[in-house]
Amino acid sequence: MARTPQIVATQFIILSLLSSFALILVQGDDQDFVRALDRKLLGLEKEKFSHFKMYWHDIVGGPNPSSVPVVNPPTNSSTAFGLITMIDNPLTEGPELTSKLLGKSQGFYSSASQKELGLLMAMNFHFIQGKYNGSTITILGRNQVFNKVREMPVVGGSGLFRFARGYAEARTHTFTPATGDAPVEYNIYVLHY
């Protein structure tokens, strides 16, 4: 059966209308407040994988604590369940508090387990050195304090760590029972742009 020019033109018009209708349906999901972007326009072309090692100083004793309880637990809790502590902890290059200051860990931790000492950690590691000055890595996760190594997710960041993801490993370096102070080694493995 031979196709006449009129049949070909009609088929072309129908195909064009169907394509336009399909395009409208696909774009119909877009709302005025959201649109797809090309990641290259934001400078998100090459992802990096970095390892950061630093020491997080939980200072709960003395005249100038960096960790302050803001909600106390019920007196009958063996795990301090319900305790919420705000932090502005120094991040240093070495385990000594006098070593080079890399930034601050700001946020809170809370005792979130009734059966064991398990903390909910929500904190930003805010850097003040070198090219990372002003950038943050955000950690949100569970910290089982008595485990030798605790792993928590990196859920994002800002500055040079936009769209960051990865994980952090925490290891208690030392603990002073008399004061409750503890430097904790953090190794952070992060994918970022």
Return the structure tokens found at 188: 């952070």
The pTM for the full model equals 0.79
Convert the pLDDT of each residue in 168-184 to its tens digit. 999 999 999 888 899 99
Count of Cβ atoms closer than 10 Å to residue 92 Cβ: 19
pLDDT of residue 186: 98
pLDDT above 70 (res 125): yes
- Answer whether residue 1 is part of any domain: no
Convert the pLDDT of each residue in 60-89 to its tens digit. 998 999 999 999 998 788 899 999 999 999
Domain limits for position 135? 45-192
**Rounded mean pLDDT of 154-164?**
95
- Answer whether residue 27 is part of any domain: no
| Domains identified in the chain, total number | 1
Convert the pLDDT of each residue in 135-146 to its tens digit. 999 999 999 999
- Answer whether residue 30 is part of any domain: no
- Answer whether residue 15 is part of any domain: no
- Answer whether residue 69 is part of any domain: yes
State how far the alpha carbon of 55 is from the alpha carbons of 1, 33, 49, 80, in Å: 81, 42, 20, 25
- Answer whether residue 88 is part of any domain: yes
